[in-house]
Amino acid sequence: MSSCPVIAIDGPAASGKGTLARRLAAHFGFAHLDTGALYRAVGVAVLRAGGDPADTSRALSAAQALSADDPVFADPALRGDDAAQAASQVAAMPEVRAALLDFQQAFAARPPGGRGAVLDGRDIGTVVCPAAGAKLFVTASVEVRAARRVKELQAAGLQVIVQAVQEDMKARDERDSRRAVAPLRPAVDAFVLDTSALDADQVFAAALAFIRSKIGPA
């Protein structure tokens, strides 16, 4: 792995981990990788090819074809609920996870810019970067997370039903935490940060204090 500092951030959907990861990366001048985008890209690729995200063969082919400069990463569809559900399905496949593991570990070992890396996802601290200098697990109640997701979708001009979003989120949490390979869970040495009652600045301050205690000011 890299001699550069690595910050691993895990957590369920809409917990605030992505916002935190981007802010930390900007603060430290580190490269950032949203690993969830990799799985979303695979899911979207399968859907657009007319396939079923539950089809391991199709999902694996899409994962193997993915490259860092793939235009799919700029596609707004990656932020939609269809992409999120497809991502959760393909992420449960050991073959797909193995295909994307090298991609993620190479980023951490040789981050663009060479200063350090911030990776956020669901198994960064447990599988992708178990030797990361600082590990965080960002979470929040499902009600709070669903409300955040509804706000995002409405801001994008989409009509949503709060109950449906909450049920979808519960189903995804269940699938992610029960999958046989790399289930969603905190690393044993992770700082668990519940953002349910915190604003973005409070979350950032708590995370920054922990990270500095682990890797210094960087």
CATH of the domain at 124: 3.40.50.300
Beta strand 6-10 with 117-121: parallel, antiparallel or unpaired? parallel
| pLDDT tens digits, one per residue of 51-105 | 999 999 999 999 999 887 888 888 888 888 789 889 989 988 999 999 999 889 9
Q: Does 217 map to a domain?
A: no
Number of domain units in the chain: 1
* Amino acid making up residue 210: F
| pLDDT tens digits, one per residue of 165-178 | 999 899 889 988 98
Q: Does 1 map to a domain?
A: no
81-90 helix and 162-178 helix, angle to the nearest 10 degrees: 20
Specify whether the CB–CB gap between 119 and 6 falls below 8 A: yes
pLDDT tier, 218 (very low <50, low <70, confident <90, very high otherwise):
low
Of residues 112, 108, 109, 28, the one with CA closest to residue 69: 112
Q: Which segments of the chain does DSSP mark as H helices, in order?
A: 17-28, 35-48, 56-65, 81-90, 94-109, 142-155, 162-178, 200-215
Specify whether the CB–CB gap between 218 and 116 falls below 8 A: yes
Q: Please tell me the distance from the alpha carbon of residue 206 to that of residue 116, in angstroms, as a whole number.
A: 20
Residues 6 or more apart whose CB falls under 8 angstroms from that of 181 comprise 92, 93, 94, 97
Of residues 47, 122, 39, the one with CA closest to residue 82: 47
Specify whether the CB–CB gap between 116 and 30 falls below 8 A: yes
Tokens of 183: 């289930």
| pLDDT tens digits, one per residue of 179-205 | 888 889 999 999 999 999 999 999 999
Q: Does 168 map to a domain?
A: yes
Task: Give the residue numbers spanning the domain of 46.
Answer: 6-212
Q: Does 61 map to a domain?
A: yes
Q: Does 218 map to a domain?
A: no
Residues 6 or more apart whose CB falls under 8 angstroms from that of 199 comprise none
| pLDDT tens digits, one per residue of 134-154 | 999 999 999 999 999 899 888
Tokens of 43: 């899911």
Q: Does 169 map to a domain?
A: yes
Q: Does 17 map to a domain?
A: yes
Alpha carbon 188 to its chain's center: 19
Distances from the Cα of 209 to the Cαs of 4, 116, 204, 214, in angstroms? 19, 18, 9, 9
Q: Does 69 map to a domain?
A: yes
pLDDT tier, 158 (very low <50, low <70, confident <90, very high otherwise):
confident
Tokens of 83: 């992409």
